[in-house]
């Protein structure tokens, strides 16, 4: 018997996965730590849900280290996630839960963490059903281009890009332009033809990677990499 989906229209993408069955026997939190090219140490947590011989994973990319550390320190018993339910019911359960032992530094962290659990659940439910996300949504999968996200050092140079391309030919990049980028640097990057996108970060506030809007920098990057982006 098909359950009703409260607050979900039948033509919404979510409706295609909301009724997937989900069995959870175990929940694990796996920390990952890595120094970044932006000068800070990134801590994230992989939520791993398993059941019925399968496992699904999702990553909590909450910005602030203390939020991640508090979860690892005080998450406690996660057996309340165990059981059999649908994706929609699992989402409703998360909506009633407090996933932060201590209030987060940023309210946006609540969305990151909830999605870590929900994406792990969706991954698991698809595997338990023996299907894929594309098949569940009735869509044709298309190739995805993965990129390396990095800054170019201080002072910035193409050395990091050249080193990675030498080891992994064909790699593409997402670069974070900064105010100390020069026309010569942009010209070198354009000649390499490996920049897939740039992240200007002009709308970031209160993070270690804030990069205030700079029209001169934007023009330099847009015009200098125009041929690469066409």
Model pLDDT, residue 5: 43
Answer yes or no: CATH 3.30.420.340 is held by domain 13-137. no
**What are the per-10-residue average pLDDT scores of the chain (230 residues)?**
44 89 96 77 92 97 89 87 97 93 92 96 98 94 90 91 94 93 95 93 74 90 82
Alpha carbon distances (Å) from 59 to 29, 34, 94, 112, 145: 10, 14, 16, 8, 20
Q: What is the C-alpha separation between 213 and 202, in angstroms, rounded?
A: 5
The residues that bridge with 107 in the sheet, in sequence order, are none
Cα–Cα distance between 17 and 137 in angstroms, integer?
8
pLDDT at 187: 95
Residues forming beta bridges with residue 148, ordered by sequence position:
173
- Provide the pLDDT for residue 208: 67
Q: List, in order, residues 6 or more apart from 198 with CB less than 8 Å away.
A: 174, 175, 176, 177, 221, 225
Report the pLDDT value the prediction gives residue 4, as an integer from 0 to 100.
43
Q: Give pTM, 2 decimals.
A: 0.80
φ, ψ for residue 85, nearest 5 deg: -160, 180
**Would you state the pLDDT for residue 2?**
39
d(Cα 95, Cα 112) in Å, to the nearest integer? Answer: 13
Q: What's the confidence (pLDDT) of residue 116?
A: 97
- Quote the CA–CA distance of 61 and 69 in Å, as a whole number: 12
Q: What is the domain partition of the chain in residue ranges? A: 13-137, 147-229
Q: Is 163 exposed, middle or buried (0-12, 13-18, 19+ CB in 10 A)?
A: exposed
């Amino acid at each position: 018997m098909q359950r009703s989906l409260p607050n979900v229209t039948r033509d919404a993408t979510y409706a295609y996965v909301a009724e997937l069955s989900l069995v959870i026997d175990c929940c694990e939190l796996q920390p990952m730590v890595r120094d970044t090219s932006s000068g800070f140490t990134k801590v994230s947590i992989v939520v791993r849900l398993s059941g019925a011989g399968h496992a699904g994973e999702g990553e909590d990319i909450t910005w602030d280290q203390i939020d991640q550390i508090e979860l690892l320190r005080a998450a406690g018993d996660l057996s309340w996630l165990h059981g059999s339910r649908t994706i929609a019911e699992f989402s409703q359960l998360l909506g009633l839960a407090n996933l932060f032992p201590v209030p987060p530094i940023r309210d946006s962290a609540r969305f990151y963490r909830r999605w870590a659990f929900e994406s792990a659940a969706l991954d698991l439910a698809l595997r338990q059903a023996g299907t894929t996300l594309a098949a569940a949504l009735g869509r044709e999968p298309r190739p995805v281009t993965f990129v390396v996200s990095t800054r170019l050092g201080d002072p910035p140079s193409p050395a990091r890009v050249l080193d990675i391309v030498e080891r992994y030919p064909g790699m593409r990049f997402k670069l974070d332009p900064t105010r100390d980028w020069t026309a010569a640097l942009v010209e070198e990057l354009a000649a390499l033809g490996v920049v897939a996108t740039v992240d200007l970060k002009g709308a970031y506030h209160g993070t270690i990677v804030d990069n205030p809007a700079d029209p001169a920098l934007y023009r330099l990057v847009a015009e200098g990499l125009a041929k690469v982006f066409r």
